[in-house]
């Protein structure tokens, strides 16, 4: 990094000394114009404090970041497992713009849709990353998917459009995430665009670095995250404009032919026969799950089921995969008469959080087709069985959750349930 240079008595930029930065304070930075305010932009950094930022999975800021001279600065003492800070607020669809500057060979990143749970020790197993890297001076071998501007380990930018200022100089980047349409920009040029959650996206996710990270990139919303990856980095003019969610999409979850769009967990049996989706206990007689490959957060879902043997099953909402097989989330029960079909069970912690009464048990048609409807919107879940309301629950924990829809096979063996007409409308 070059030494400090003076222009008319002012220190320009955040050029590093042997330790790191000098001043980058400029009165025109970290403010919004009246036009930007009218368009809905908001600042994520006020230019003076670390207000609005905290540790990943934490409640306060203890990681090696500080605000100095109009910049958020990473001190460069982070590692792969530490050094991450996140916004207090979650964002779904947005334009996110920021200025950044690295030291020689520096490595950092901007992540979004990051999910915070104790099960996730680092943010990048859930949140996509716009890679920030001083490629010419990086002290090591690099794959193309690790370089500046990539959607990390997924999509590559157009190198012909890459106009980057060298280390010690400011650059501007922007991410656009609009209901699955993604764009990366660098210094005013669009360098990359793709559609999230397509067949191509899932093929890349499942065949590369994220093959063992089942929840990577699936979240529809999450916190914004900055990365201290062991190199000093400086950021300013971090601003975001939220974009509207597109609702009202009709989604057919089961095509009547195969398990396209679903992922099985565990050794129990999931198969299609005569246009029906079957779940059946296998020889291991353990829990099994069939989960949508995508997240669905707000929706009105209808499924039909018939219990051909023991019907101890269920429909999970806003669930996620943990430790290879285990599904965490909230289950709308599907079970034999007398065991609470239509009630809601939390798979970790609280157990039953909404149960039906004795009279409601009679709504279940034994040995025949039943229609289960589940509406999930914000912090409310309502279930109906054959047109009869079963439970209407408002719950803060459910409101904070997001994830997959999943069908369950209970342990113990002897279970066989047929499913058909699984479809939803997004809200």
Q: Which two tokens stand for residue 45?
A: 């950094």
pLDDT in tens, 27-68: 589 999 999 999 999 999 999 999 999 999 999 999 989 999
For residue 22, the model assigns a pLDDT of 43
Q: What is the mean pLDDT of the chain?
A: 92
CA atoms within 13 A on the CB side of 183: 14
- CATH topology match: 6-242 vs 250-426: yes
Nearest to 348 by CA among 311, 300, 270, 401: 401
Instruction: Name every residue whose Cβ is closer than 8 Å to that of residue 324 and which is 6 or more positions away in sequence.
Output: 265
Cβ–Cβ contacts within 10 Å for residue 426, how many?
16
For residue 326, the model assigns a pLDDT of 82
Q: Where are the domains of the chain?
A: 6-242, 250-426
Q: Which CATH superfamily is domain 6-242 in?
A: Exo-inulinase; domain 1 (2.60.120.560)
* Rounded-to-integer distance, Cα 215 and Cα 322, Å: 9
CB 167 within 8 A of CB 15: no
pLDDT in tens, 251-264: 999 999 999 999 99
pLDDT in tens, 102-144: 999 999 999 999 999 999 999 999 999 999 999 999 998 999 9
Backbone angles phi, psi at 409, to 5 degrees: -110, 125
pLDDT in tens, 160-206: 999 999 999 999 999 999 999 999 999 999 999 999 999 999 999 99
For residue 24, the model assigns a pLDDT of 52
pLDDT beyond 70 at 5: no
Q: Give the predicted TM-score (pTM) of the model.
A: 0.89
pLDDT in tens, 272-319: 999 999 999 999 999 999 999 999 999 999 999 999 999 999 999 999
Q: Which fold has domain 250-426?
A: Jelly Rolls (2.60.120)
């Amino acid at each position: 990094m070059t030494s400090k240079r003076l222009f008319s008595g002012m220190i320009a930029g955040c050029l590093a000394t042997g330790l790191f930065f000098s001043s980058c304070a400029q009165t025109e930075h970290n403010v919004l114009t009246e036009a930007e305010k009218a368009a809905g932009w908001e600042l994520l950094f006020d230019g003076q404090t670390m207000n609005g930022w905290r540790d990943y999975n934490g409640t306060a800021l203890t990681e090696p970041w500080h605000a100095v001279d109009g910049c958020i600065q990473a001190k460069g003492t982070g590692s792969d497992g530490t050094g991450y800070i996140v916004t207090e607020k979650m964002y779904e669809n947005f334009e996110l713009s920021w200025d950044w500057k690295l030291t020689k060979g520096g490595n950092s990143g901007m992540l979004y849709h990051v999910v915070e749970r104790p099960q996730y020790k680092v943010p990048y197993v859930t949140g996509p990353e716009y890679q920030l890297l001083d490629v010419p001076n990086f002290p090591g071998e690099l794959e193309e998917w690790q370089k500046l501007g990539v959607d990390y380990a997924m999509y590559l930018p157009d190198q012909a459009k890459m106009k980057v200022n060298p280390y010690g100089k400011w650059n501007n980047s922007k991410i656009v995430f609009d209901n699955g349409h993604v764009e990366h920009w660098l210094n005013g040029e669009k360098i990359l665009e793709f559609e999230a959650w397509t067949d191509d996206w899932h093929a890349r996710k499942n065949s590369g670095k994220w093959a063992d990270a089942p929840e990577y990139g699936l979240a529809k919303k999450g916190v914004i995250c900055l990365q201290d990856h062991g190199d000093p980095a400086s950021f300013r003019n971090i601003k975001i404009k939220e974009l509207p969610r597109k609702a009202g999409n009709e989604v057919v979850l089961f095509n009547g032919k195969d398990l396209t769009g679903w992922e099985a967990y565990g050794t129990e049996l999931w198969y299609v026969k005569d246009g029906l989706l079957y779940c059946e206990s296998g020889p291991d007689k353990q829990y099994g799950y069939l989960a949508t490959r995508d997240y669905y957060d707000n929706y009105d879902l209808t499924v039909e089921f018939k219990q051909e043997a023991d019907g101890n099953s269920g429909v999970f909402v806003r669930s996620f995969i943990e430790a290879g097989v285990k599904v965490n989330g909230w289950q709308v029960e599907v079970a034999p008469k007398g065991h609470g079909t239509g009630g809601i069970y939390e798979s970790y912690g609280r157990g039953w959080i909404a149960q039906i009464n004795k009279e409601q048990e009679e709504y279940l048609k034994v040995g025949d087709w039943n229609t289960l409807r589940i509406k999930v919107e914000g912090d409310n879940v309502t279930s109906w069985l054959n047109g009869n309301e079963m439970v209407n629950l408002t719950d803060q924990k459910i409101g904070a959750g997001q994830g997959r829809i999943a069908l369950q096979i209970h342990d113990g063996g002897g279970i066989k349930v047929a499913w058909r007409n699984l479809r939803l409308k997004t809200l």
